[in-house]
Amino acid sequence: MKIAVSAQQPNLQSPVGQRLGTSAYLIFLDTQTMAFEAVPNPAAADQRASGLQAVVLAIDRHVDVLLTGYCSPMAIRYLSESGINVVTGVTGTVADAVAEYRQQRFAAPIDNAGTTISVNKPANGAAALAKAFKKSARQIASLLPILVAVVLLVGLFNTFLSKALLSSIFSGNTLLDTLCATGLGSIFTGNPINSYLIGGELLKYGVSLTAVTGFITAWVTVGLVQLPAEIGALGKKFALARNAVFFVLCLLIAVLTVVFLKLLTGYVA
């Protein structure tokens, strides 16, 4: 049997990752030989669609079981449809989790709604407090790369993107600028925090709010960079249709945002 376990570190003594999508590694282990391979989660640092990437990775490796702390209902659905049994609520180290599963201590059948039932007993008292502090520390540590990236991005933006360059890209025509900005946001998908930063800098350089809104919404919802992974998990027809619909919705949201802002505050674009 081949088991996949979400993990924080690339070894069997690592704590089990408490969210499938944001776990740094997936450890693939053969229960007969106990040979294992730790594979970095390709989108662990990116909150957006990170679970989808982990799902595709697990399906590609043809695992029988996946152990994790939490997995979204949609991810469970795609994994179970690929014949993978999903067990959630798993804590402790990877080695302990695998050992307990082999001893059938985890009874996590998938119900009709596509969710799992965990039988792990919740921690309490000092143990629960210590667990909460550790979880908070891990979350803060996971945000540090994003904060560093934000600082670096500000410097790169101000250094390489001059007002003259932006003027050559954005002509001042609201419709064309919105189409252009939404298209760029669809291609250069990334963390939502960075989209706000770039949007603010674009406003400083005179790009219209309509175009900036289209850029931000497309940045966090369309995702052409991650399209191959989305096709692998959801199918080509659905993935292409979803991205096309969201692109149109981004344009609509950009226009409506400015319209309502003008009605409520008298804003002039």
Mind spelling out the 3-state secondary structure of 201-216? Answer: HHHHCCCCHHHHHHHH
Residue 107, domain member (yes or no): no
Domain boundary among 102, 126, 141: 102
Other beta carbons within 10 angstroms of residue 178's beta carbon come to 25
In total, how many domains does the chain have?
2
Element housing 144 (H / E): helix 125-160
Q: What pLDDT score was predicted for residue 117? A: 38
Q: Which residues pair with 67 in a beta bridge?
A: 5, 87
Q: What pLDDT score was predicted for residue 108? A: 46
42: containing domain: 2-102
Residue 19, domain member (yes or no): yes
Residue 229, domain member (yes or no): yes
Q: What pLDDT score was predicted for residue 245? A: 93
Please give the C-alpha separations between residue 198 and each of 17, 152, 155, in angstroms, as whole numbers.
31, 12, 11
Residue 136, domain member (yes or no): no
Same domain, 171 and 95: no
Domain boundary among 102, 137, 171: 102
Query: Half-sphere exposure of residue 149, counting CA atoms within 13 Å on the CB side?
Result: 16
Q: What pLDDT score was predicted for residue 22? A: 85
pTM for the predicted model, two decimal places: 0.47
Same domain, 167 and 260: yes
Q: What pLDDT score was predicted for residue 227? A: 77
pLDDT averaged per 10 residues in sequence order, the chain, 269 residues? 92 91 90 88 61 82 90 85 89 90 61 42 61 71 64 58 66 85 80 75 84 88 76 79 91 91 75
Residue 122, domain member (yes or no): no
Residue 141, domain member (yes or no): no
| End-to-end CA separation in angstroms for the chain | 61
Q: What pLDDT score was predicted for residue 37? A: 92
DSSP 31-53: TTT--EEEEE-TTTT--TTHHHH
d(CA 7, CA 68) in angstroms, rounded, equals 8
Residue 226, domain member (yes or no): yes
Domain boundary among 59, 86, 102: 102
65: CATH: 3.30.420.130
Q: What are phi and psi of 85, to 5 degrees?
A: -80, 130
The token duo for 107 is 């009874």
Residue 192, domain member (yes or no): yes
Same domain, 92 and 178: no
